[in-house]
Structure 1
Amino acid sequence: MAEKLLAQVENSSGIDKLLAVMSSLRDREGGCPWDLEQDYQTILPFTIEEVYEVAEAIESKDFDSLKDELGDLLFQVVFYAQLTKEEKRFDFYAIVENICDKLVRRHPHVFGDVQFESEKQLKQAWEEQKHQERQQKSKTNTSVLDDIPKALPELKRAQKIQKRVAKIGFDWENVDQVWDKVKEECEEITLAADQGDSENLEEEVGDLLFAVVNLSRHYGIDADMALRKANQKFDSRFRKVETFSEKPLNQSTLEELELLWQRAKKTR
């Protein structure tokens, strides 16, 4: 059996070779026991992890790692395609055909005679096409919020929700109004904290986060990426604090830690 599976792989090339590897791993007679046990839900955490590893390779400009991580991510797609093929739903080639049709349909200015006078018109046409596709997927009236994945990181999901409703005019007229909303939410957090209302405090903190995401959107900033960079900056500076300190940090006073932090901020 092993020789047969290996021959299937060696007699293939390109994407067909990867598909042959995947098929062999799921072979009921000679496949891998671990791969045979997997389903959509068990693979999902690995898929999410691979996406973040691709992002890390891009941010660090490590292109050798990027090649590996993109391969790992592609394997996730192939794994799902193998499962759907086994269930006689669709195969990998149907996925490819579907995305190609979608991209051609959404780019009439590239694959057709349509012309747009501005980037704004281009984006508007893109959103209208996506809305039509959402309506075609459902037999009932659809919400403008349909197809925003609930599994998205919450900052990213908040920004997508806000962007989607802004497309139909449900938005603040200017950034000053958004600032007023942020300040209002801060005041409501203070009030809830003063009253010892822990349940309402959680809700108000959530409202503030939502308002700050809206603020970032109005400034053209991706909130999720901004927080990611802030985390990276804090991580880098705190590691310098650990390096600069001549004694364990838990034995340092707050004033000593602050001096180390200010020193870390001044170094690159």
Structure 2
Amino acid sequence: MGTPGAELERLVGIMRRLRAEGGCPWDREQDLRSLRPYLVEEAFEVLDEMDRVAQGGPWHPLCEELGDLLFQIVFHAQLASELGEFTMADVSKAISDKITSRHPHVFGEQQVDGAEQVLANWAKLKAEERKRKTGKEGSVLDGVPTAAPALLRAERLTEKASRIGFDWPDLAGVRGKLAEELAELDAAIATGERDAIEHELGDVLFSLANLARFVKTPAEDALRMAIRRFTTRFQHIESALHDEGVPFGGATLEHMERHWQAAKAQEKALPPPLSLPRAPVSTLRLGVPHLEAQRGFWDSVATTLGWSAPRGAPDTACYDTGSVRLVFHGAERPATGATFTLEAPSTLALIRLRQVMEQAHPGSVVDSSDARLTFRDPAGLMWEYIPFAG
């Protein structure tokens, strides 16, 4: 497993090769303008995987999508490097310098009292940076992209304003403001005036975004998850109507509502994930001298790893990892001399497996830390359990 620095250097080298004479024709044709949609697309794919993780999904696909997003950053840095503007090293140095300077309570002598003071200091430090660069402090609202989704932008603007004290003192005030804006929207709807409705509806949405900030539930995330639920439920309706032979557009609202409520009930009935994502292993078939002892050991360990134990031949012990099948079979001598690596979906999974080892198989753990668990099974085979590298 390489270090982050070494792997980043490797990626920069790959990008340089792709852009060089004799490299990839497509990569050589790209410029900042043509790469814009890919950057946005990769960022949204990262968000999709973050949502799946939040719902109990595996972490590794998020690792892959973060890699795709990082590739876009390296691509842009390579374009700048070819023009003599800056390099990937300059990008890394700039953000490292910025983060260090904005955390004097970590990298300096400053003392803070909680996260709120950290944010207030952050705003002051940014203003000082702007003044050094431009001669003016600028606005505390600077830095929120105008192209960002509107709900996200509204929340970030209110957050920035709060850093200099422009904020409601408590949640009750925010909730009261939302009620006030809703009443004004009702009055505008009663007039039927389009401009007035748009104005008041905007105020309601802005107040909702501010409320989301107060309850620490980002409005953009909440809406995105609501859209996911709507899509799942509506597709359930479509599937149910198709199974019933109802022609397209032929169902009544009451009929569709029944299926909608059934979809909601089905969501609530789904149990939370009971196991962590399966851990991949690059092993096929191993001979062991004491098959029953091996089976007894791995029957308990496999459950913790999320593997299944399909029935194989009578003289084998089989475990399905989700990608390959691990098969132990009888042999006069154990297949020792190698260490097999399993990839843990999280540090929590590593801790959980260590607990199983210590309780069910005392003495099997050879080495243990927050980043690695090494254990030996009854056949003398060595195994490492390591969290995914992000």
TM class by shorter chain equals: 0.7 to 0.9
* SS state at 1:199 partner: helix
Residue 275 of structure 2 is matched in structure 1 by none
> Does the aligned pair in 2 maintain the 1:134–1:147 contact within 8 Å?
no
Whether the 8 Å contact between 1:249 and 1:257 is mirrored in structure 2 is no
**How high is the TM-score relative to the length of structure 2?**
0.60
Match of 2:62 in 1: 66
Is the counterpart of residue 47 in structure 1 residue 39 in structure 2?
yes
Structure with larger Rg:
2
> Which one of 198, 203, 210 corresponds to residue 207 of structure 1?
203
Match of 1:18 among 8, 11, 15: 11
Alpha carbons of 1:169 and 1:107: their partners in 2 closer, same or farther (altered >3 Å)?
Answer: closer
Residue 91 (1) aligns with residue 73 (2)? no
- RCO higher in 1 or 2 (8 Å CA, sep ≥ 6)? 2
Would you say 1:236 and 2:235 are equivalent positions?
no
Aligned counterparts, 1:136-155, within 5 A: 136-155=132-151
Q: Displacement of 1:92 after TM fit?
A: 0.5
Q: How does 1:1-268 map to 2 (within 5 A)?
A: 14-27=7-20, 29-60=21-52, 61-245=57-241, 246=244, 247-248=246-247, 250-268=249-267
- 1:169-223 CA-partner distances (Å, limit 9, x unpaired): 2223333333333233323333333333223322222221111111222222211
Alignment partners' CA distance in 2, 1:120 and 1:162 = 14
How many residues are paired up? 255
Amino acid at match of 2:16: S
Runs (5+) with no aligned partner, structure 1: 1-12
Aligned partners of 2:175 and 2:116: how far apart in 1?
25
Please tell me the residue identity of whatever aligns with 2:114.
S
Greater share of strand: 2
Quick check: 2:127–2:137 contact (8 Å CA) kept in 1?
A: no
CA spacing shift, 1:149–1:136, aligned 2, 3 Å: farther
**Following TM superposition, by how much is the alpha carbon of 1:249 offset from its aligned partner in structure 2, in angstroms?**
5.7
- Could you say what secondary structure the match of 1:250 adopts? coil
Q: Are the structure 2 counterparts of residues 52 and 84 from structure 1 closer, same or farther at C-alpha, using a change threshold of 3 Å?
A: same
Structure 1 residues 204 and 193: alpha-carbon distance in aligned structure 2, compared to 1, 3 A threshold: same
Q: Higher helix fraction: Structure 1 or Structure 2?
A: 1
Which range moves more in the overlay, 205-214 or 105-114? 105-114
Aligned-residue CA RMSD (Å): 2.1
Structure 1 CA distance for aligned equivalents of residues 115 and 8 of structure 2: 35
In structure 2, distance between residues paired with 1:68 and 1:54: 9
TM-score calculated relative to the size of structure 1: 0.86
1:134–1:146 Cα contact (<8 Å) kept: no
Task: For residue 65 of structure 1, report the CA deviation from its aligned partner.
Answer: 1.8
Shift in alpha-carbon separation, 1:181–1:87, aligned structure 2, 3 A = same
